[in-house]
Amino acid sequence: MTLRPEEWAALMLSLKVSGVAMLLSLPVAIYVAWVLARREFPGKALLSAVVHLPLILPPVVTGYLLLLTFGRNGAVGGFLESFGIVLAFRWTGAALAAGIMGFPLMVRAIRLSIEAVDPRLEEAAATLGAGRITRFYCVTLPLIAPGILAGAVLGFAKAMGEFGATITFVANIPGQTQTLPSAIYAFLQVPGGESSAVRLVVLSLIVALGAVLISEWLARKVAQRIGQG
C-alpha cells in the first residue's frame, strides 16, 4: 500500500499527537485515579464528574471551550503566549485536545485496577515502616500495572480517533494539525478522494489493532512477573 506524502504526514502527526497526549496524561491519570479510589473528601463526586465530563459533552463543545481557554485571547492562552507557548492551531493543541478527550478513559481503567487491590496489603507494608510513597511504588504500582497499560492503550486509541475537539481547537491544516480523522474527513469532501480515505481508514485499523495486541502482550508479561514475584 503506497501512501502519498500528505497521507504519510497525517499518519506521522497522528502518532506523534497520540503518543504525546498519552504520555503527558498518564501520570496525572494515575494520581487522579488513586485519589478517587483511595481518598474520601468533600467534593469527590464533583471531581469525578468533572473528570468524566469530556465523555458526556459533545466533542465540538470541548474543543470550543479549549479555544476559549487556551486561544490567544483566552485567559490561559494569553498567559502562555507571553512565554512563547501557543497551543491553538498547533499540533501541541491537538495533543492537548486528544489528551483531554482520552483522560476519562485512562482514569476509569486505572481506578478500577486500584480498587481491585486489597488495601490490607498496603496496610501491612505500613506496619513494616513503609511510607505512603514507598507503599505506592513497591506495593500498589506493580499490582495495577495491567490497569495502567489498559488505560494507556485506551488513551492512545481515543487520541488516534479524536476528531471533533481537535478540528474545533486547531482546525484542519495539512502538515500541521491534520491528523488521520481530519485527513479522512478532508479527502471525503473532494471528488476522487475516496481512495486516499480508504487507505487512511485501513491504516487506522492497523494502528489500533497493533496497539491492542502490544498491550495484551505487555499485560501478560507483567502478570507473569507479578505471579513469579
Domain spans of the chain, in order of start: 5-228
pLDDT of residue 220: 78
Q: Residue 58 is placed in which grid cell?
A: 459533545
- In the chain, the percentage of residues whose pLDDT exceeds 90 is 59
User: Which class is domain 5-228?
Assistant: mainly alpha
- In the chain, the percentage of residues whose pLDDT exceeds 70 is 97
Task: Decide if pLDDT at 171 tops 70.
Answer: yes
Residue 178 sits at φ, ψ, to 5 deg, of -85, 100
3-state helix/strand/coil string of the chain: CCCCHHHHHHHHHHHHHHHHHHHHHHHHHHHHHHHHHHCCCCCHHHHHHHHHHHHHCCHHHHHHHHHHHHCCCCHHHHHHHCCCCCCCCCHHHHHHHHHHHHHHHHHHHHHHHHHCCCHHHHHHHHHCCCCHHHHHHHHHHHHHHHHHHHHHHHHHHHHHHCCHHHHHHHCCCCCCCCCHHHHHHHHHCCCCCHHHHHHHHHHHHHHHHHHHHHHHHHHHHHHHHHHHC
Q: pLDDT for 5-15, tens place per residue?
A: 888 999 999 99
Q: Residue 160 is placed in which grid cell?
A: 488516534
Q: How confident is the model at residue 36 (pLDDT cuts 50, 70, 90)?
A: very high
The mean per-residue pLDDT over the stretch 77-83 comes to 90
Q: Which of the two residues, 1 and 190, has the higher pLDDT score?
A: 190
Give me the chain's average pLDDT, please: 90
pLDDT of residue 168: 95
Task: Decide if pLDDT at 226 tops 90.
Answer: no
pLDDT of residue 51: 95
**Burial class, 103, CB count within 10 angstroms (exposed 0-12 / middle 13-18 / buried 19+):** buried
Q: How confident is the model at residue 228 (pLDDT cuts 50, 70, 90)?
A: low
Fill in the amino acid letter for 5: P
